[in-house]
């Protein structure tokens, strides 16, 4: 498996510094948060997009994905949702990212309506994603935090360029163990987001291995299944500025993940 980190841990950091941190600390890739307050987002121009692709390629660091905020199961008008999806897909294609992250965002809508809208919208943008070599991933999050919820949307889509992003925190908050989550997500799985927190009531980011999440069980399930994708550390310092500086944790965090991988090896 390959290791990446999300720029949520280093919010607003210039991209040359992000690429340098990845290379210096031995990460294979980076998930770029695609929000207007970040250096790269859907309104970024073509020159900057080309420069970003060249920058990371020159550092030997892969842009794993662009993490967007489109909510495909919500009540927003189709035009707004499709504008957001198409913008993220084109951005990912331009910078050479394999994946786009989207949220469900179904809120309190009836489950059947939210599922149907999410599946329809994801299916509609699948051809563009395929043309650009991009995969759109629905994260286990908010209204669809369990693997079974996400799989319920993705099954009807049935397209290889639409899949799932497994955020282990949210499936855990939904009451699923990794042994339950993985089989439901396996046919659709793009990559896995790992993090650690103290409890369901205190989700401020902690160094990997110091909290309550079943990270070892997750990696063990993946390893026993022969899954050979990406693990991405999402340290949410953007929402918790009081948390320990992520840069200080990058080296120990990578070593911790490598230890889990070694223990899970067949």
Q: What is the mean pLDDT of residues 249-256?
A: 97
Residues whose CB falls within 8 Å of the CB of residue 260, separated by 6 or more in sequence, listed in order: 215, 216, 219, 220
The CA distance from 85 to 62, in Å, is: 22
**Which CATH number is 144's domain given?**
3.20.20.150
**37-58 mean pLDDT:** 97
Token pair 């049935």 is found at: 158
Residue 266, pLDDT > 90, answer no
Number of helices and strands in the chain (H, E): 9, 8
| Domain of residue 163, residue span | 2-264
Give percent of the chain above pLDDT 70. Answer: 99
Cβ neighbours, 10 Å, residue 180: 16
**For residue 265, what pLDDT is reported?**
67
Residue 104, pLDDT score: 98
The mean per-residue pLDDT over the stretch 155-163 comes to 97
Is residue 232 within 8 Å of 11, Cβ to Cβ? no
Q: How large is the average pLDDT for residues 108-127? A: 98
Q: What is the pLDDT of residue 148?
A: 96
The per-residue pLDDT for range 168-206, each reduced to its tens digit, is 999 999 999 999 999 999 999 999 999 999 999 999 999
Mean pLDDT of the region 104-109: 96
Distances in Å between the Cα of 171 and the Cα atoms of 193, 211, 250, 266 are 11, 16, 24, 25
Model confidence at 264, pLDDT cuts 50, 70, 90, reads: confident
User: What is the tally of structural domains in the chain?
Assistant: 1
């Amino acid at each position: 498996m390959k290791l990446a980190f999300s720029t949520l841990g280093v919010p607003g950091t210039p991209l040359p510094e992000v690429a340098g941190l990845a290379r210096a600390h031995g990460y294979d890739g980076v998930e770029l948060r695609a929000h207007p307050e970040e250096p790269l987002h859907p309104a970024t121009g073509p020159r900057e997009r080309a420069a970003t692709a060249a920058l990371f390629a020159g550092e030997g660091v892969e842009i794993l994905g662009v993490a967007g905020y489109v909510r495909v199961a919500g009540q927003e008008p189709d035009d707004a949702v499709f504008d957001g999806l198409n913008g993220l897909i084109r951005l990912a294609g331009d910078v050479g990212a394999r994946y786009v992250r989207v949220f469900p965002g179904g809120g309190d809508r009836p489950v059947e309506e939210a599922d149907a809208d999410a599946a329809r919208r994801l299916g509609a943008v699948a051809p563009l994603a395929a043309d650009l070599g991009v995969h759109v991933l629905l994260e286990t999050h908010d209204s669809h935090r369990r693997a079974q919820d996400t799989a319920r949307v993705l099954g009807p889509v049935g397209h290889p360029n639409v899949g799932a992003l497994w955020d282990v925190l949210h499936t855990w908050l939904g009451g699923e163990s990794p042994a339950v989550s993985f089989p439901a997500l396996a046919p659709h799985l793009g990559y896995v987001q790992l993090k650690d927190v103290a409890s369901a009531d205190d989700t401020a980011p902690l160094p990997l291995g110091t909290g309550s999440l079943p990270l070892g069980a997750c990696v063990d399930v993946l390893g026993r299944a022969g899954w050979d994708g990406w693990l991405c550390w999402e340290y949410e310092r953007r929402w918790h500025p009081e948390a320990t500086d992520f840069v200080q944790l990058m080296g120990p965090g990578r070593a911790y993940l490598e230890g889990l991988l070694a223990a899970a090896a067949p």
